[in-house]
A and B are shown apart, each in its own frame.
Chain A
């Protein structure tokens, strides 16, 4: 409603005035218009419209699109007289918008206002209002922002910060104090110069003395050892002799008193036994006494077995030291024979199973022979059964072997020179082969011996059982042949006194004594076992000893008993041991016997075994070699007389 009232008056005051003063009196305000009656009767029409009288008829707005002011006739005629904000809410309000009540209302309000006009927005910032406090705990509803989006935020756990600090140990420190002055410096320099001079001198001396010093170093240890070795050797001998003192006493002085009661028999007393560890597997194949040193002898070790040929060894023992050999020479091949030179007793000739012949020099400390025969050098093809030095002063020796050759070897400065002395032919009748080739087969020589007086005469025993008498001068023919044995002749030996007598032994169990003029043996002895070796006693022409495979030593003295041994004694412990060799000591009444276990036994002959012929009372005793010869001759003549054969003298 619009009232046509020009002045704005306080209504109430006018009302009050009217009532207070006069009930019928017309009160006129001071500033009321004074109108004439004509004007008062005028009719003025008034109409009520819905239009806002204060609203302008048109509004001019700046339109940014056009960049000019434009009139808009559409004018908003609403006039807001009163605004009351309520605190009531609809129950059926939309659940999706789960907002706190107050916030909802304010948001609605702001939304509505925002839709109508921008100017009349009363932006309360409803979001910032505190949520209503509720007594009952409601799960917190989602809070969306004005764009209906929900913010989410979270905070991870931050590791707590920790403070650390450290202080390192400062590097170690030292103090040093010195004075630098001219005299100190000078002194130091002088000292340094002197040092340098001394060093220079030393170097000069060192260079010149290096060689000398080296030599000294090398010599001194060996000198020490050799000095020790001599005294060690002496000590060893002393100890051995002390421990075997009884044996030594026996060797020297023992004479078996029981021999007085045994008429014709004698015994052999075992003395030392010589053994060497490494030689236990080997058989004693050769024995030889040293003439210059009668306590010294050599042992050759090898094997008689054809199929079991291995290494060999050459040992030299002395009676003074029975436990260990003086010299040891290991050889690649079995030793078959051995001979020590009578005058140059350091020269040893050795024959091997492979046909090789060597000469060892005992003066040399080397283990190798001085001389060795080679295939080019006339080496034998078969085992060398015997070697013998020549009796003269020349360095010459002979060897006999199964290949039928008797070879003479000479030692020159550098090498062995050989020459065939004789070839042992089986028979000298030439048998022509298919194409007229002379077919000469050789006999196999097994032993030989030089005549003690006649130099170029020697006898050879063969495997066929024959003994040939040969001369060095005649190389193609024998002087004589004796059908000695049924099996191989193992040993032939000349009698040391009687020039015509020699002895032979064989594996056919016999020992035979021959006179070289007669084709039949003078004496034959059956020993019931294969005879390995036989040897004449050097002190008597009628004494000889033989060893057999049964382990027995037979000693014969023809002057006492022509038919039987005056001593038959087993010498070895084990019955299976075969005795292979025997040798008489040239000076003492001792024999050494070798067996097939690599050991050598020394035996002392009892007095009965070495009897010399008793001189008749009143007559001068004829001693010496002539006596021996006469003794033997006497024996032989007894045999010869019934035969009535030609006697050569």
Chain B
């Protein structure tokens, strides 16, 4: 049972590696949210290994689209506490192990 138990999470992890984005928390309006998610996914796929470039890409695009002073954090293990402008926060997971947090604040 234990072996199968160990095998299953590995399989699941493998499955999750190529899996979908999950929004953990957001208070963005629908359109903004969809655009942001699409943007994140495309950025992730472009710069797959480099979190800094991904974050930079996302931040620049968000600044252009929605106004200045966006902040983007990408990582696998971090804690954060942010003050953000209302209705301008997106916190989501991607690729089974990555977490990305985007917020706007001047």
Q: What residues make up the interface of A, taking CB atoms closer than 8 Å to B? A: 170-182, 185-186, 188-190, 192-193
Given A178-B101, A180-B78, are A185 and B86 also a contact pair (CB < 8 Å)?
A: no
Q: Are A172 and B86 in contact (CB under 8 A)?
A: yes
Give the nearest-CB partner of A175 in chain B: B83
In the complex, besides A180-B78, A186-B13, 7 extra interface pairs with C-beta distance below 8 angstroms are: A173-B84, A173-B105, A178-B101, A179-B80, A181-B78, A189-B12, A189-B16
What are 16 sample pairs from A and B whose C-beta atoms fall under 8 A apart?
A174-B27, A174-B83, A174-B85, A175-B82, A176-B81, A176-B89, A176-B103, A177-B81, A178-B101, A179-B80, A180-B77, A180-B93, A181-B78, A185-B96, A185-B99, A188-B24
Q: Are A176 and B75 in contact (CB under 8 A)?
A: no
CA of A186 to CA of B13, assembled, Å: 8
CA of A190 to CA of B76, assembled, Å: 17
CA of A189 to CA of B16, assembled, Å: 8
Q: What residues make up the interface of B, taking CB atoms closer than 8 Å to A? A: 9, 12-13, 16, 19, 22, 24-25, 27, 75-86, 89, 91, 93, 96-99, 101, 103, 105-106
Closest CB in chain B relative to A429 CB, distance in Å: 98
CA of A180 to CA of B100, assembled, Å: 8
Q: Are B78 and A185 in contact (CB under 8 A)?
A: no
Give the nearest-CB partner of B99 in chain A: A180
Closest CB in chain A relative to B5 CB, distance in Å: 13
Q: List residues of chain B with CB within 8 A of the CB of A189.
A: 12, 16, 19, 22, 93, 96
CA of A78 to CA of B12, assembled, Å: 128
Q: List residues of chain A with CB within 8 A of the CB of B12.
A: 189-190, 193
Q: Are A176 and B91 in contact (CB under 8 A)?
A: yes
Q: Is the interface of A mostly helix, strand, loop or mixed?
A: mixed
Given A173-B84, A174-B86, are A181 and B77 also a contact pair (CB < 8 Å)?
A: yes
Given A171-B86, A173-B105, A174-B86, are A185 and B97 also a contact pair (CB < 8 Å)?
A: yes
Closest CB in chain A relative to B9 CB, distance in Å: 8
Closest CB in chain B relative to A528 CB, distance in Å: 93
Give the nearest-CB partner of B89 in chain A: A176
Given A189-B22, A189-B96, are A180 and B75 also a contact pair (CB < 8 Å)?
A: yes
Give the nearest-CB partner of B86 in chain A: A172
Task: Tell me which of B9, B75, B96, B99 has the highest count of chain A C-beta atoms within 10 A of its own C-beta.
Answer: B99
CA of A349 to CA of B49, assembled, Å: 92
Closest CB in chain B relative to A332 CB, distance in Å: 60
Q: Are B101 and A185 in contact (CB under 8 A)?
A: no
Q: List residues of chain A with CB within 8 A of the CB of B82.
A: 175-177
Given A185-B96, A189-B96, A190-B12, are A176 and B86 also a contact pair (CB < 8 Å)?
A: no
Given A180-B75, A180-B77, A185-B96, are A173 and B24 also a contact pair (CB < 8 Å)?
A: no
Q: List residues of chain B with CB within 8 A of the CB of A176.
A: 25, 80-84, 89, 91, 103
CA of A176 to CA of B85, assembled, Å: 11
Give the nearest-CB partner of B12 in chain A: A190
Partner of B86, one of A173, A180, A190, A193: A173
Partner of B22, one of A173, A174, A192: A192
Task: Tell me which of A170, A185, A190 has the highest count of chain B C-beta atoms within 10 A of its own C-beta.
Answer: A185
CA of A186 to CA of B17, assembled, Å: 11
Given A172-B86, A174-B84, A190-B12, are A179 and B78 also a contact pair (CB < 8 Å)?
A: yes
CA of A253 to CA of B99, assembled, Å: 95
Q: List residues of chain A with CB within 8 A of the CB of B103.
A: 176
Q: Are A175 and B93 in contact (CB under 8 A)?
A: no
CA of A176 to CA of B103, assembled, Å: 10
